[in-house]
Chains A and B, each alone.
Chain A
Amino acid sequence: MAALLKASNITMQFGGLKAVDNVDMEIQPGEIHALIGPNGAGKTTFFNVVSGIYSPTSGSVIFDGEEITKLKAYQVTAKGITRTFQNILLFENMSIVENVMVGGHTRTDSGLVGSLLRTGKSRRAERECYENAMKTLAFVGMEELADQSASGLPYGKKRILEIARALASHPKIIMLDEPAAGMNSTESEELSRIIFKIRDAGITVLLVEHDMKFVAGISDMVTVLDHGQKICEGVPQMALNGPRVIEAYLGKEEEEEEA
């Protein structure tokens, strides 16, 4: 089977620091793929490269058979890649349903002139955008909150709203950056249900997560980064118990004790 996303020799350098160092990664369609590694390993940077927020120092990203390395973030979204953010970036000044409607930006076919003149086409497009947003909210179980402000949501719900916003773009792959961070156990159980639902809807999932139990319970494939380099890849039982992985994580704990 051809990979849905193929990143080859990705290097992202900030000054003297190689945040991502010559990483190869293939994501197969339909899988839940976890990207793990200690803090500062380069996971978020890898997401930023794939989603077009950074342009890599070297290497290439092929998505669905098409080179997307040089595309800007908004173009990448239109191709079918979407994401959430580790440091929640919601549109706090907007209602929940409006947040999700912005997620549907690339799938909404109404221009400014059409909207100004209230043409039939633009009204239809707006209605579809709204209905799509409500359906997506229902998918994650938040449709009752639609008209509330996004800023008033508790932490866990904000993370779910980010997922809904991302899903509204009808992606082929969704990249979740630490979706369970700050969630209690009920919330993270709910989250894993949602992630399985996303996979069952035919959307490939790439996720960064620290909670090993969460990763082991949910992913089909695990890639481990450390200091920007890929040190291990495989099915969860194997990847999570590899000697270098344990070392990377134990090393991290020592550092924390020192600090």
Chain B
Amino acid sequence: MKKTAKSTVITLVVLIAVALLAPVVVGLKNNYMINILCSYCYFGILCCSLNLLLGYTGQISMGHAAFMMIGAYTYGILNKFHGVHFLIAALAALAVSFAAGLLLGAACCKLNAIFLAMTTVGFYKAVSTVIINEGWLTGGANGISAIQKWTVFGYKLKNWQFYYIALAVVLLVFLFCYRMVNSKTGRAMRAMCSAPIASSAMGVNNNQLKFLVCGISGALAGLAGVLYAVTNSYLSADMFAKVSVQTLTMTVVGGMGTLWGPLFGTLAITTLPELLRPFADHLDGIYGVVIILTVIFMPNGIYGFVRRMVQKASAKAKAKKAQPANAAGKKGE
């Protein structure tokens, strides 16, 4: 049966080690850098969420930030305005964004790719409009400010401690996705993505599966929203304006339909805006160009590209070993 490859384990261990050491390297008190590290975490979760939908199930969401917003605001409203305990607020955020995901599921069952893309953009617009207009509920244009860091047994967590929690959540989400895509459900998702008529003829209930994946994807995006709210301790609708495109870029550039892809994509694309600070106004355009270049030159993303290079290199190494035979063959040509 499927065994986890040695290279996978090594990559994972290295990544985790780097992630564990990162706060120490940047300095535990360096809140600016710690917040960037946290942003890797929530973007990583967001990409995993979009990847389940887009990469594994073939359903397009162009407004994925909507679910993140729903999660973030549910958490912010409950925790800040109503004093609900952070754990309960987080669970509520998961439940509400799961429900929102089911709405997307209904759209997936009825619409083809183009209309789905438009609908999801519209859904994002609708959610942000509601958030801006319904000030009594959401704080409106003023947003929600001073969202508290978590307090465990009377001890208020520092930023870097929260980062470790966020990291643990990412790892759990990654494990969740790993097990999900390798399960019977995951096989059915990939099958439906590739040939929906054949998958239904093999006994897969396509519509039910779309609802399930959309719900899960919504909930994971909502979870990313919770981490976002706590990390930034401030929420306003316009903060999410670039998130949908950014997430799409990360997932596509990293390599959708693979587990590693979104992780690489997150690392690359979350780092990019920090490096491109001077060009912040043109970020959307840069994302666009990066997506186009990726789709043309690396259709399987960074992950697919790296894997192909590694395979080529190992094939070359093998060829070198078998050189005498090869050389004779070449002379014959």
Report which of A93, A103, A108, A169 forms a contact with B193, defined as CB distance below 8 A: A93
At the interface, yes or no: B187 with Cβ under 8 Å from chain A?
yes
Please choose the segment from A124-132, A189-197, A199-207 that sits at the chain B interface, where 4 or more of its residues have CB less than 8 A away. A124-132
Residues on B with beta carbons closer than 8 Å to the beta carbon of A102: 187-188, 191, 199, 202, 204
Complex formed: what's the CA distance from A83 to B1 in Å? 27
A101 within 8 A of B: yes
Cα separation A72 to B109 with both chains bound (whole Å): 15
Q: How far is the CA of A101 from the CA of B187 in the complex (A)?
A: 8
Task: Please tell me if the beta carbons of B194 and A112 are within 8 angstroms of each other in the complex.
Answer: no
Pick from B191, B206, B212: contact of A91, CB below 8 A: B191
Of A20-28, A29-37, A73-81, the one contacting chain B is A73-81
Shortest beta-carbon distance, A70 to chain B, in Å? Answer: 15
Q: Once bound together, how far apart are the Cα atoms of A42 and B44, in whole Å?
A: 50
Q: Are B187 and A116 in contact (CB under 8 A)?
A: no
Contact check, B183 vs A116: say whether CB atoms are below 8 A apart. Answer: yes
Interface size class of B (residues with CB under 8 A): 20 to 34
Distance from B178 Cβ to chain A, minimum over Cβ atoms (Å): 10
Q: Is A106 an interface residue (CB 8 A)?
A: yes
In the complex formed, the residue of B with least CB distance to A175 is: B201
Tally the A-B contacts, defined by beta carbons under 8 Å.
98
Task: Given A93-B193, A112-B180, verify A78-B198 contact (CB < 8 Å).
Answer: no
Report, as a range, how many residues of chain A touch the other chain: 35 or more
> From residue A53, how far is it (CB to closest CB) to chain B in Å?
7
Residues from chain B with a CB closer than 8 A to the CB of A94 are 187, 190-191, 194
Separation of A170 and B198 alpha carbons in the complex (Å):
16
Instruction: Report how far A78 CA is from B200 CA in the complex, Å.
Output: 11
Q: How far is the CA of A203 from the CA of B305 in the complex (A)?
A: 45
Question: Is A105 a contact of B203 with CB atoms below 8 Å?
Answer: yes
B187 contact set on A, CB distance < 8 A: 94, 98, 101-102, 105
Listed from nearest, the 9 A-B pairs whose CB atoms lie closest are: A115-B183, A106-B203, A77-B203, A89-B198, A73-B200, A105-B203, A91-B194, A89-B195, A102-B191
**A-B pairs with beta carbons under 8 Å apart, 6 shown:** A93-B193, A102-B199, A110-B183, A112-B183, A126-B183, A166-B202
In the complex, besides A74-B206, A93-B257, A94-B187, 14 extra interface pairs with C-beta distance below 8 angstroms are A82-B201, A85-B201, A92-B195, A94-B194, A98-B187, A99-B191, A102-B199, A102-B204, A105-B184, A105-B187, A110-B184, A115-B179, A115-B185, A126-B1
